[in-house]
Amino acid sequence: MKYWQGWLVWLMALALAFGLPGSAWHQASAPTFPWDMLLPMLFLLAVFGLLAPMAAVLLGPDGARKRLLALVEAPPDFLWGGLLLAAWPGAWGPPGLVAFGGAFLAAALPSEVRWLCAAMPSESPFPSAYGPAAIQKTRRTVIRHLLPRWLAARVPLWLTAALVLERIFGVQGFGSDWAQRISTRDRLGIALWVLAFALLWRATRSWEIR
């Protein structure tokens, strides 16, 4: 998709956000943005964004067919959250960001690794014929080119999919903020979220070109 076509789609989304009819059935104020969650969530996304590509480079395209990854990927988010709550020692106090981050990684990392592995090309007969060094170099090159598309396609999904875990652990995160702004028809807040996603798309497109 060319730049002008992509920006046209995002501008249409912004216009739709500002065109919402407002809180017609109830009066509710827009929630306060969870600024205290900004740095922890960005740190968690950065860790996640490093672990998944590293695992994909280690496993290669065959990782998409690993039974262990498929087995860990199968349980839904709420099951991982419930298991972590059940195993959380009471002496540590109520679970917070650490438990949320652990459940998020357990729930999302296997599927993202399989997503990256499935997008990698076959290594037979080449570069397998040139040995392990050529295989690793090829995998790193492929992941470097896949990374922008992966980020643009999956980061919005991570933020909204984390809503289940945020409710389980009582954490006010980005998913909860997005859902609350939609429920209260906060036009400005939704438009800012759409603009943030548009800027993410633009940044990853620039990275892809380089």
- pLDDT per residue rounded down to tens, the chain (210 residues): 566 677 777 778 777 777 766 554 455 677 888 888 888 888 888 898 899 999 999 998 888 888 887 777 777 777 888 888 888 887 787 788 888 888 888 888 888 898 888 888 888 787 877 788 888 898 899 888 888 888 878 888 888 778 888 888 888 888 888 888 887 878 888 888 888 888 877 777 655 544
Q: Are the C-beta atoms of residues 73 and 147 closer than 8 Å to each other?
A: no
In a shared domain, residues 8 and 96: no
How is residue 52 written in tokens? 């998944």
Is the sign of the CA dihedral 75, 162, 52, 65 positive or negative? positive
With respect to residue 178, please indicate whether it lies within any of the assigned structural domains.
Answer: no
With respect to residue 179, please indicate whether it lies within any of the assigned structural domains.
Answer: no
User: In the chain, how many domains are there?
Assistant: 2
In a shared domain, residues 137 and 102: yes
With respect to residue 176, please indicate whether it lies within any of the assigned structural domains.
Answer: no
With respect to residue 177, please indicate whether it lies within any of the assigned structural domains.
Answer: no
**Is the whole model's pTM more than 0.85, yes or no?**
no
Domain boundaries, position 4: 1-30+184-210
pLDDT at 131: 81
In a shared domain, residues 49 and 69: yes
pLDDT at 24: 45
